[in-house]
């Protein structure tokens, strides 16, 4: 029986490259995407390239708690377990938007939604198997220090940075708890990847961003490499609670690996879970 992997945002960019790599490694891959039409095309492409027919698309909108719950329900109707969860999907909302559940949209999609998805799936990781969770963070976490009472008031670039820092803190904070359940969790900095996430559709702003980032841009395949390594390599089978860049762990300064911030964030998330799940 093949191992089962869920990849959010698997229809394009790094998510697509990750799903393709897992397919080539004979995983059953569930592509959790909001754009079903594009995801179906990507699924067919991955099937053709990999020769793996066990690639499935399921709809999820990570900005909606209802959609997250519906995704998990649909997933469990078809599959009785999950071995790999890759919280890859991400956005940068160009304007300040509040979701139907009362969260700033970038924060909802990049951090709150993935946490709620993770929480709902944790009971379905099978005991005694090689189970892994990977959170996509970013080098931009350094600009993401936040006040918990303002976490839904940040917008655009700051909100993106806060969401990526939150994804890192969650991986660090949940590591011990999940280890007891036989699950590892790590965070990844993929680098500065050439994707559409920072596109503003304002020509002069996009021109400046591209000029500034051109020297450090990497393509999605290279950006996905560390995530794929963490998902598939036996070398990191038992590694947990770490932050990886270029397939190696990096040491965080105490300023960013802050126990108080980690605890406060998880308490906030648990409050959300109690209210919405």
What are the residues whose beta carbons fall under 8 Å from the beta carbon of 262, sequence distance 6 or more?
Answer: 169, 172, 173
Give the three-class secondary structure for 232.
Answer: helix
Which residue of the set 115, 141, 154, 160 is catalytic? Answer: 160
Both tokens assigned to 277: 């799940």
Give the three-class secondary structure for 225.
Answer: helix
Length of the chain as a residue count: 277
Both tokens assigned to 128: 């005694």
Distances (CA, A) of 147 to 122, 247, 261, 262, 264: 28, 31, 9, 12, 10
Q: Quick check: is 160 catalytic?
A: yes
Measuring CA to CA, which residue among 81, 90, 119 is closest to residue 9?
90
Question: Contact, 146 vs 165, CB < 8 A?
Answer: yes
Residues β-bridged to residue 8: 32
Both tokens assigned to 36: 């079903």
Q: Which residues are catalytic?
A: 160
């Amino acid at each position: 029986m093949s191992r089962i992997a869920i990849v959010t945002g698997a229809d394009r960019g790094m998510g697509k490259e990750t799903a393709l790599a897992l397919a080539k490694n004979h995983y059953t891959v569930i592509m959790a995407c909001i754009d079903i039409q594009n995801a179906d095309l990507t699924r067919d492409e991955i099937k053709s390239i990999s020769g793996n027919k066990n690639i499935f698309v399921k709809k999820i909108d990570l900005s909606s708690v209802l959609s997250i719950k519906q995704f998990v329900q649909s997933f469990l109707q078809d599959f009785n377990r999950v071995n790999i969860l890759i919280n890859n999907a991400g956005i940068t909302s160009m304007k300040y938007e509040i979701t139907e559940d009362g969260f700033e949209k970038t924060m909802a999609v990049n951090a709150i939604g993935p946490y709620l998805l993770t929480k709902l799936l944790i009971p379905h990781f099978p005991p005694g198997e090689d189970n892994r969770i990977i959170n996509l963070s970013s080098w931009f976490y350094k600009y993401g220090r936040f006040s918990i009472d303002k976490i839904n008031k940040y917008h655009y670039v700051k909100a993106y940075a806060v969401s990526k820092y939150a994804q890192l803190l969650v991986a660090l904070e949940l590591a011990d708890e999940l280890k007891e359940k036989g699950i590892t969790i790590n965070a990844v900095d993929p680098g500065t990847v050439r994707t559409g996430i920072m596109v503003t559709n304002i020509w002069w702003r996009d021109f400046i961003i591209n000029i500034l980032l051109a020297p450090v841009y990497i393509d999605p395949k290279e950006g996905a490499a560390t995530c794929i390594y963490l998902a598939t390599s036996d070398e990191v089978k038992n590694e947990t609670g770490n932050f990886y860049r270029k397939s190696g762990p990096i040491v965080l300064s105490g300023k960013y690996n802050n126990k108080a911030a980690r605890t406060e964030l998880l308490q906030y998330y648990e409050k959300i879970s109690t209210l919405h799940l």
